[in-house]
Amino acid sequence: EEWAWAEANERAIWAQVQPQECMFNDNPREVMRWFQEGPFTRVGDIPQESPDKLGAYLGWKMVQAHTAARGDLPVDGWFMAQDPQPFLRTYRP
């Protein structure tokens, strides 16, 4: 049920990530709001019907997209990259 909610609302979730620039936020408290346990994800305009830990869901979707786009690149190569943009560009909900 939670996964189905996230799938159905994936674009709306991503729309909350972008304006907050949470991918580059150096405030751990702000970033952790996406990964906290709780009744729902307490970020921006995400409704209370949402599941908790939507950050983990988005992370998984990003890894899936990058693997599909760049399956030839070993995972350890992802973390060695100086520029995160190629990784981030592969995910488009």
Into how many domains does the chain fold?
1
| Per-residue confidence (pLDDT) for residue 90, from 0 to 100 | 84
d(CA 33, CA 47): 14
Q: Residue 83 is encoded by which pair of tokens?
A: 């520029």
Question: What confidence tens digit (pLDDT) does each residue in 26-83 have?
Answer: 889 988 999 999 999 999 899 999 999 999 999 999 888 988 887 777 777 766 777 7
Q: Residue 53 is encoded by which pair of tokens?
A: 């830990």
Range of the domain at 74: 2-89
In this prediction the pTM is 0.82
Number of H helices, E strands in the chain: 6, 0
Amino acid at 6: A
Residue whose C-alpha is closest to residue 68's, from 91, 93, 45, 40: 91
Question: What confidence tens digit (pLDDT) does each residue in 17-26 have?
Answer: 876 677 778 8
**Helix-strand-coil split of the chain, %, nearest 5:** 55, 0, 45
| Per-residue confidence (pLDDT) for residue 74, from 0 to 100 | 76
Residue whose C-alpha is closest to residue 57's, from 76, 71, 43, 73: 43
